[in-house]
């Protein structure tokens, strides 16, 4: 269980680093420097980037609270460990691509944000590819949860 505690502490440190980076980007106004063929598209892209990062930030804060609670309570730690190491969930994750698909979706999402600073057409193409990958993963996850 000590190895799992260290794993949770590493996750907390990475979440804190991400939070600091997002706050720095907000203060510097990085999300306002997007490209676009007109002001409406430019505002959409900057708003999308801002909202996406804030959404991920909220999810990170939720998990940070969950991990802090687990580190403070042995019962919560055991419950979280069992939840993360459940054989059915691990099997389903392996069937839908596991970490590889998550890495692809993350790369597409970062590419979408980066494309917003270069070209609005590239932004929308990357956004469509990201959404497609997320919907395919969700469809497979729902299918395999029902099948197994």
Q: In the chain, where are the structural domains located?
A: 1-85, 86-148
Query: 3-class SS at 65?
Result: helix
C-alpha separations of 15 from 36, 62, 67, 70, 133 in Å: 31, 10, 11, 16, 24
Q: pTM of the prediction?
A: 0.84
What per-residue confidence (pLDDT) applies to 54? 87
Q: What is the residue-level pLDDT of the chain in tens, covering all 148 positions? A: 899 999 999 999 999 998 898 888 877 877 777 777 788 888 898 889 888 888 989 999 999 999 999 999 999 999 999 999 999 999 999 999 989 999 999 999 999 998 988 899 999 999 999 999 999 999 999 999 999 8
E strand or H helix at 41: helix 39-72
Residue 57 contacts by C-beta under 8 Å, 6 or more apart in sequence? 18, 19, 22
The tokens describing 138, both together, are 């969700």
């Amino acid at each position: 269980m000590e190895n799992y505690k260290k794993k949770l502490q590493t996750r907390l440190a990475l979440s804190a680093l991400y939070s600091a980076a997002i706050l720095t980007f907000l203060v510097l106004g990085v999300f306002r420097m997007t490209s676009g063929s007109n002001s409406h598209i430019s505002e959409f892209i900057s708003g999308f980037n801002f909202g996406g990062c804030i959404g991920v930030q909220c999810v990170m804060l939720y998990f940070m609270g969950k991990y802090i609670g687990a580190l403070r309570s042995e019962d919560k730690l055991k419950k979280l460990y069992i939840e993360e190491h459940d054989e059915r969930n691990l099997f389903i994750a392996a069937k839908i691509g596991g970490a590889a698909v998550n890495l692809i979706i993350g790369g597409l999402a970062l590419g979408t944000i980066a494309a917003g600073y270069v070209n609005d057409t590239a932004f929308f193409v990357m956004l469509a590819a990201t959404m497609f990958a997320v919907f395919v993963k969700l469809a497979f996850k729902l299918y395999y949860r029902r099948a197994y």
